[in-house]
Amino acid sequence: MEVQRLDFRVPSLSSLSRPLNRPQKAPILIFKSPFSLPRSIDAKSDSKSSLKSPQFKGFRCRGSFGRTDEDGVSGIEGRPTKKRLAVFVSGGGSNFRSVHEATLQGSVFGDVVVLVTNKPDCGGAEYARNNGIPVALYPKISSTPEGLSSVDLVDYLAKLEVNFILLAGYLKLLPVELVRAYPRCILNIHPSLLPAFGGKGFYGLKVHKAVIASGARYSGPTVHFVDEQYDTGRILAQRVVPVLATDTPEELASRVLHEEHKLYVEATSALCDGRITWREDGVPLIQSKENPDIYS
């Protein structure tokens, strides 16, 4: 597809990939239509080159535009390559922060290379800028030409060579183009035990109010793969949290959120390590890090 280049500057590739242990504010990347990408991160123009996807036990993530070869290692001395993560947020982004901190500590073998948000002033976006992570706006703001279109977003993430996408409190439905470009490569975390209390409109305290009102004795977070609907993708991991008789929605939310932070890091670690396999019936399983013969 032919794209028109606009004459403005964006961060170079070196700034996108600089070490994150030395926080440095990054700007919001706001692209005006028609979409233009940084010259420094253009895909290779060599017609013989190709963007290959990482190979995982049980499935191939064909839409990830990964930088690894089919064995999941880089071409430099056969060493594994960290996965490149895009995180989507709409609010404070506490799960985003947990995952980002885990990448810095080494418990998640990946790097957050971009933060995508529909609210550029939200806490998650501010945290990203303070930690040198570029912030991109999606979708376009209706009153201005700023932000990315659905097609622009897919192209932009491809140029950044993003392997996986993590939704961390992102309230917009992902465009079909993005979901189809990243099959089995997008995770979301939801604050209830899906399929209960999920779907459009179930987010934040609304979920916990509904759980308490139903009389359910248990709740907890769910990590699932993303499809073209709200909260209907295949469940990857869950954590049970008791609902106490005296719980307020805020109290239940606090306990569930505590488990969310741990569960999302564990699931993201498995994704980046290639420890997810798929049963013949389409159910994803996580291979234990300590014992490869055990799945959950």
Cβ atoms within 10 A of the Cβ of 212, count? 18
Count of domains for the chain: 1
Establish if 235 belongs to a structural domain: yes
- Let me know if residue 37 belongs to a domain: no
Q: Decide if pLDDT at 148 tops 90.
A: yes
Q: Quick check: 105 and 186 in contact, CB under 8 A?
A: no
Question: Across residues 237-251, what is the average pLDDT?
Answer: 98
Cβ proximity of 160 and 41 under 8 Å: yes
Q: Look up the CATH number of the domain holding residue 150.
A: 3.40.50.170
Of 111, 128, 159, give the one whose Cα is nearest residue 268: 111
User: Looking at the domain assignment, is residue 14 inside a domain?
Assistant: no
- Residues carrying an active site annotation: 190
Q: Does some domain include residue 43? A: no
| pLDDT for res 183 | 97
Q: Is 134 exposed, middle or buried (0-12, 13-18, 19+ CB in 10 A)?
A: buried
Q: What is the pLDDT of residue 140?
A: 84
In a domain, 19, yes or no: no
Residue 17 maps to a domain: no
More confident residue, 39 or 112: 112
6 domain residue, yes or no:
no
- pLDDT reading at 39 higher than 80: no
Instruction: Compute the average pLDDT of residues 122-133.
Output: 98
Range of the domain at 171: 25-32+50-286
User: Measured between alpha carbons, how far is residue 205 from residues 25, 202, 225, 231 in Å?
Assistant: 31, 8, 22, 16
Instruction: Tell whether 1 is covered by a domain.
Output: no
